[in-house]
């Protein structure tokens, strides 16, 4: 069952107009906020989406107290009872301004350099983003040069909304029970914090990846370490053999970590130690690190390196006290997805049906899906189409909006054919985590 070309055009135009509308709303999350959601703009967008969902047939819509927007749609012509979730996030990165975003559509990209109307010094070329060369002849959307575009993840929202619209426009497309969720605060690692688990499906897909074709089934294993140094301060004129300078020792401790295992020296499947904060004086000092790897055992070994350094320093500096705490933030979702091979296999079939070549990618970070996996819903990540996100040059080819919508429609059709599809499992433990970084 394919999607006729005139309907593909309908999908493309609808997804683009939705995307432009959603991109204009400032939904930057705020890492300093202690509220949930962290910013008011996310409510504004959630309410707009709520209104649009309520205008569709056959949907039960709920916007809850924490700004999670749920939509439920009963199955149509499905072979068995199974609920499928699509998820995208409402917020955009706080890294850059997201106020008054003006999406600019560059029709039929001819190759070469694109310019931004509100920032004459800023250009976008294949040197910045070699992927551009794949989209010669395609329409490209950028912001106007003063803000991010917010394709991460307004593109995901637009695609899911367009898929729902398609399902109500076309009455012959089978789908299982759908449980859609739009989450707030993904960019600050809190996207899964307040989700209502009972509203999720047996299987989920986040629409939050990058380039058209990306299918992500792996993410980092993530630990966070805090190290406290308690020294001994005396007047510097009389400090000989008495002062234990906590800050100076903390600096040496950092210098003893493997110099090339840092974010700026690693790529692909390599892990790292990343110093995220450091402060102190003679009496007290503090280091904060995050530890990342695709392999959980290798990441645990990083924590052990910290512990053995701690022991060395205790011996080297009598009188110094050092404490180390290590906490888990999130885990590599591969562990869960390996136990549910159907979830990725269906993903691959859906890509093929939508005529999209799969780009397998391991995320050097986390997603809401990684946390959903360990909450009991296997959830890989599908491209939303944006590139260079979190930057002024962020861009998306319009065809990506169309193709991610088509992939979801094929996932609907494929899962609807499954007579038995309750892949839900109960995780052995539930840990509090966040998916920062």
* DSSP H/E element including 219: strand 214-219
Residue 103 or 386: the one with the smaller Cβ distance to Zn ion is 386
Residue 150 or 201: the one with the smaller Cβ distance to Zn ion is 150
Residue 156 or 201: the one with the smaller Cβ distance to Zn ion is 156
Minimum Å gap between C-beta 397 and Zn ion is 17
CA distance 396 to 398: 6
Pairing of strands 140-142, 272-280: unpaired
Pairing of strands 381-383, 214-219: antiparallel
Minimum Å gap between C-beta 152 and Zn ion is 4
Reduced to 3 states (helix: H, G, I; strand: E, B; else coil), residue 128 is coil
What residues are annotated to the active site?
Answer: 91, 186
Minimum Å gap between C-beta 381 and Zn ion is 9
Minimum Å gap between C-beta 81 and Zn ion is 31
Minimum Å gap between C-beta 156 and Zn ion is 7
Q: Which residues would be at the binding site for Zn ion (CB under 5 A)?
A: 152-153, 208
Instruction: Dihedral sign for Cα 170, 7, 357, 109, please.
Output: negative
Residue 150 or 176: the one with the smaller Cβ distance to Zn ion is 150
Between the CA of residue 258 and those of 4, 289, 302, what are the distances in Å?
55, 13, 10
Residue 189 or 271: the one with the smaller Cβ distance to Zn ion is 189
Residue 152 or 218: the one with the smaller Cβ distance to Zn ion is 152
CA distance 372 to 369: 5
* H helical segments located in 197-261: 246-255
Q: Which residues contact 427 (CB under 8 A, 6 or more apart)?
A: 336, 374, 375, 376
Minimum Å gap between C-beta 153 and Zn ion is 4
Q: What are phi and psi of 171, to 5 degrees?
A: -95, 10
3-state secondary structure 23-66: HCCCCECCCCCCCCCCCHHHHHHHHHHHHHHHCCCCCEEEECCC
């Amino acid at each position: 069952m394919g999607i006729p070309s005139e309907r593909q055009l309908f999908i493309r135009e609808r997804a683009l107009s939705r995307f432009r509308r959603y991109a204009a709303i400032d939904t930057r999350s705020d890492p300093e906020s202690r509220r949930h959601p962290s910013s008011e703009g996310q409510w504004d967008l959630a309410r707009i989406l709520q209104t649009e969902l309520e205008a569709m047939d056959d949907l039960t819509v709920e916007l809850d107290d924490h700004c999670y927007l749920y939509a439920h749609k009963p199955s149509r012509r499905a072979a068995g009872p199974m609920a499928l979730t699509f998820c995208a996030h409402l917020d955009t990165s706080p890294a850059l301004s997201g106020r008054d975003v003006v999406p600019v559509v560059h029709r039929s990209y001819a190759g070469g350099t694109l310019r931004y109307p509100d920032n004459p010094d800023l250009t976008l070329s294949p040197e910045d983003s070699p992927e551009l060369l794949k989209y010669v002849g395609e329409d490209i959307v950028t912001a106007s040069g003063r803000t991010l575009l917010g394709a991460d993840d307004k593109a995901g929202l637009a695609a899911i909304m367009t898929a729902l619209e398609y399902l109500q426009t076309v009455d012959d497309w089978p789908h299982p029970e759908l449980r859609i969720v739009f989450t707030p605060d993904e960019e600050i690692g809190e996207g899964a914090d307040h989700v209502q688990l009972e509203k999720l499906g047996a299987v989920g897909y986040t629409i939050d990846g990058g380039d058209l074709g990306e299918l992500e089934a792996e993410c980092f294993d993530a630990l966070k370490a805090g190290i406290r140094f308690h020294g001994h301060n005396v007047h510097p004129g009389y400090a000989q053999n008495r002062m234990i300078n906590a800050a100076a020792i903390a600096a040496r401790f950092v210098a003893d970590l493997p110099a090339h295992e840092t974010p700026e020296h690693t790529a692909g499947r390599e892990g790292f130690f990343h110093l995220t904060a450091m402060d102190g004086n003679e009496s007290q000092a503090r280091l904060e690190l995050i530890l990342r790897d695709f392999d959980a055992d290798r990441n645990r070994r990083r924590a052990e390196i910290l512990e053995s350094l701690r022991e060395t320093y205790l011996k080297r500096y009598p009188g110094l006290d050092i404490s180390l705490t290590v906490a888990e933030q999130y885990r590599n979702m591969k562990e869960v997805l390996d136990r549910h091979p159907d979830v990725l296999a269906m993903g691959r079939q859906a890509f093929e049906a939508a005529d999209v070549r799969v780009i397998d990618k391991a995320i050097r970070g986390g997603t809401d899906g990684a946390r959903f996996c360990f909450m009991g819903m296997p959830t890989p990540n599908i491209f939303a189409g944006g590139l260079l996100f979190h930057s002024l040059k962020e861009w998306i080819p319009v065809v990506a909006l169309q193709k991610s919508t088509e992939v979801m429609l094929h996932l609907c059709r494929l899962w609807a054919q499954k007579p038995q599809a309750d892949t839900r499992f109960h995780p052995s433990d539930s840990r509090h985590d966040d998916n920062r970084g």
